[in-house]
Amino acid sequence: MTSTAEKLRFAGDVNIEKVVVTSVNGFYQNIANQVIGIQIFEDIFSPFITGTLIVKDSLDLANVFPLTGEEYLSLKIVTPTLKQGAIEGEFYIFKMTNREITGDRAVNYELHFISQDSVVDMNKRISKKFKGKPSEIAKTIITDADIGLQVKRPVNIEETSNQISYISNFWNPVRNMTYLCDHALNEKESPSYLFFENRAGFNFVSLDALYNNKDYIEYFTYDNYVRDKTPDGKSAKDIVQDYKRIRRLAVPVAYDYMDRLEGGMLGSKQYSFDIISKNVDIKEYDMFKDFDKNNHTNIHPLASNKSIFRYNSKIINRQRHWDNFTDGGDSSNSKFLQKRMSIMKATDAAKIEITVPGRTQYTVGQKVLVELNKMEPVEKKDTDILDAMLSGAYIIGAVNHFITRESHECVMELFKDSLLKDINKAK
C-alpha cells in the first residue's frame, strides 16, 4: 500500500525529508522539526543557489552546535510521487539574522545558506594564461581541483565555436566565468552565454540554446477554473489542472522605451580603436536586421519596425587588443559586443511574475508556456480571446521556492525576448 508520504494530496504538497546541520567539529542533527519555513532562491543571472531557513528553536541549537557561521547544511525536499527533480544538495550556512526571543525557552531566527562551491570561489585566485575554446576553458574553471571550483555536481557545457586568449590576473573562478560568457560564441555565432547553477547542476549555456528548447516544463494559465464536476454534480479535485493555475500574476514593468534605448536593445554604435596602429573602426548594430538570425522564445520582435531610434542613442567606446598573444589577433569581444548587449537587454524588457503551486522540479533555465485571456468583455461569437501580448513562451529567469511543512509555493520571474503578436500589423 502507498504510504501517506508517497501520495500527492494537493497541488503544492511537499515532503521535507532532510534538513541536517553539521557543525565544524562534526556534530550533526536533523532539525526538520524546528524549521517553520524554507526559502530557496535561484537566478539565471547568478552563479549560485542561495536560501534561508526560518527556525523556531526551543532546543538551544545556537549553543549546542554552536551556530557560528561555519556550519554545513544538507537538504532534501521532494514533491510526493515526483521521481525526479528533488531539491537536494550541500550548502554552507554563513549568516544568522532576525534572532528574536518569543518565549521563556523559544527563539526564532533565520539561517542564510549558499552553495558550498561559493566558498571555494571566494577563497581562490587564479593567475594563469588561458587559450582555447571558451567551453574547454569553462570546463577547467568549473571542475579543476587546483584552480577551479572543484564542482562535484553535474556540469552542462554548450560547446563554443570561437577561440580566445586571456590572462586571469588573480581573478576568482566566477570572474573568469563572467569573462568567458562575455567572449563566447555558440555554433550559430550567438554571444549569449550565461553561467548559473540550477537544480540540474552548473550550466555554461547560451540563451540561444534555451530559447530553442522544444520541451515545456509546464503550461500555466490564469482563469476562473475551480473544480471539475462529477456526474452527480459534486466537485472533483484535479491536481494536474491545479498545478497549471496561476494564483497571482504581476507585471512590474510592462515596457520601458527609454531603458531599451539606453541599454542598446534596439541599436547602437561602437567606436573600437587600436592604440598601436591608430586605427578606428565604426560599427552600427540594428536589432531588426539581426532578428531572424537567432532563436527566440516566440516569433515576433518586442518592438515594431517603426520604433524611433538612432545608433547614436547608445555609443560604445571599445579598445581592441591586437596580437597581445602570439597569433592571437584581436583578443577583445568588439566584433559581437553590441549584439550581446542587445540580447541581454531583451531579457529584461518583457518580464512577468507569477505565483503558482510549488513543485521541486521547477528551476531556472526551463521553458514554460503561459496563456492569458484578454481583459475585455467576451461574447459567444468571439473566437480569439488570447492576450497575444502577454501570452507565449517564457524562460524561468528566477524562482523563489517558499516551503513550509504544510505546503510549497513558487514565485517565478519569467522573461521572453519576443512576442506572439506581430505589432506591425493592424488588429
What value does the mean pLDDT take over residues 372-396?
Answer: 79
Please report the pLDDT score of residue 2 as a whole number.
33
| pLDDT at 330 exceeding the cut of 60 | yes
Closest alpha carbon to 328 in 210, 129, 164 = 164
Task: Please give the Cα distance from 165 to 183 (Å, whole number).
Answer: 10
Q: Which amino acid is at 55?
A: V
Mean pLDDT of the chain, nearest integer = 90
Which DSSP letter does residue 159 get?
P
Please report the pLDDT score of residue 1 as a whole number.
27
Question: N- to C-terminal Cα distance for the chain?
Answer: 57
- Could you tell me if 54 and 35 are in contact, meaning their C-beta atoms sit under 8 angstroms apart? yes
What value does the mean pLDDT take over residues 379-388?
Answer: 70
| pLDDT at 215 exceeding the cut of 50 | yes
Residue with cell 555609443: 315
For 223, the grid coordinates are 482563469
321 — pLDDT class (breaks 50, 70, 90):
confident
Please report the pLDDT score of residue 325 as a whole number.
60
Tell me the three state secondary structure of residue 251. coil
Number of residues in the chain: 427
Please report the pLDDT score of residue 110 as a whole number.
96
Helices within 34-153 (DSSP H only) = 61-64, 116-122, 134-143
- Could you tell me if 81 and 15 are in contact, meaning their C-beta atoms sit under 8 angstroms apart? no
pLDDT digits (tens, 9 = 90+) for 82-109: 888 899 999 999 999 999 988 777 899 9
Please report the pLDDT score of residue 427 as a whole number.
60
Please report the pLDDT score of residue 311 as a whole number.
93
342 phi and psi angles, rounded to 5 deg: -65, -45
| pLDDT at 382 exceeding the cut of 90 | no
Please report the pLDDT score of residue 32 as a whole number.
92
Of the listed ranges 79-93, 107-121, 400-414, the one predicted with least confidence:
79-93
Task: Please give the Cα distance from 115 to 92 (Å, whole number).
Answer: 6
Radius of gyration of the chain (CA): 25
In sequence order, the β-bridge partners of residue 408 are 403
C-alpha torsion 369→50→126→133, nearest 10: -10
Sign of CA dihedral 273, 279, 280, 286: negative
Alpha-carbon distances, residue 411 vs 273, 364, 401 (angstroms): 45, 12, 7
Percent of the chain's residues with pLDDT above 70: 91
**Residues near 122 by beta carbon (within 8 Å), at least 6 away in sequence:** 172
